[in-house]
Chain A
Amino acid sequence: MIRVDIRAKFFGETPVLGPVAFDIAQGETVAILGPSGIGKTTLLRIVAGLDDDFEGHVERPARLAMVFQEPTLLPWRSALKNLTLVHPDLSRKGAREMLARVGLADKERAFPGQLSLGQQRRLALARAFAGHPDLLIMDEPFVSLDPATAETMLALTERLIAEERPATLFVTHARAEAERLATRVLDLAGAPATLHPMPDRTR
Chain B
Amino acid sequence: MTSRLGVPALSLLGLLALWIVAATLTADPQVLPQPFSLVAPFLSELRSGELAYHLGQTLVRVLWAFGLAMTLGMILGLLMGRFERLNRWLDPWLVVFLNLPALVLIVLCYLWIGLNETAAIVAVTLNKVPNVTVTIREGARAFSPQLDAMARVYGMSAGARLRHVLLPQLAPFVAAAARGGVAVIWKIVLVVEFLGRSSGIGFQIHLYFQLFDVGMVLIYALSFIVVMLAVEWLFLQPWERRARRWRLA
**Stretch among A9-17, A81-89, A143-151, A190-198 lining the B interface:** A81-89
Looking at B147, B152, B155, B165, the one whose CB has the most chain A CB atoms below 10 A away is B155
Contact A76 B152 (CB under 8 A): no
B174 to chain A, nearest CB (A): 13
Chain A interface residue count, Cβ-Cβ cutoff 8 angstroms? 27
List residues of chain A with CB within 8 A of the CB of B243: 76
Mask, B138-158, CB within 8 Å of A = 1, is 000000001101101111110
In B147-206, the 8 Å CB interface with A consists of 147, 149-150, 152-157, 160, 164-165, 168, 171
| Contact among A64, A70, A77 with B146 in the assembled complex (CB-CB below 8 Å) | A70
CB <8 Å contact, A64 and B153? yes
Residue of B nearest to A137 (CB): B153
Q: Interface residues of B toward A: which range?
A: 10 to 19
Which residue of B147, B155, B247, B249 contacts A74 across the interface (Cβ within 8 Å)?
B147
Instruction: Give bound CA distance, A48 to B154, whole Å.
Output: 10
Indicate if the CB atoms of A131 and B154 lie closer than 8 Å: yes
Q: Is the interface of A mostly helix, strand, loop or mixed?
A: loop
Contact of B149 among A50, A62, A111, A127 (CB under 8 A): A50
A110 to B246, CA, bound (A): 9
Whole-angstrom distance between the alpha carbons of A72 and B147 in the complex? 6
- B contact residues around A45 at 8 Å (CB): 149
Say whether B154 contacts A77, CB under 8 Å. Answer: no
Q: Tell me if A183 counts as interface (CB < 8 A to partner B).
A: no
Question: What is the chain A residue whose CB lies nearest that of B247?
Answer: A113
Question: Which residues in B have their C-beta under 8 angstroms from that of A76?
Answer: 164, 168, 171, 243, 246
| B146 adjacent to A49 (CB under 8 Å) | no
Q: Is A75 an interface residue (CB 8 A)?
A: yes
Distance, CA A72 to CA B243, complexed state (A): 20
B246 x A49 contact (CB < 8 A)? no
Smallest Cβ distance from B241 to chain A, in angstroms? 13
6 tightest A-B contacts by CB?
A76-B168, A66-B153, A76-B246, A111-B246, A72-B150, A111-B249
**Apart from A72-B146, A72-B150, A114-B249, what are 14 other A-B pairs with CB-CB below 8 Å?**
A49-B153, A50-B153, A65-B153, A66-B149, A66-B150, A66-B153, A70-B146, A74-B147, A76-B243, A76-B246, A86-B156, A87-B154, A110-B249, A111-B249
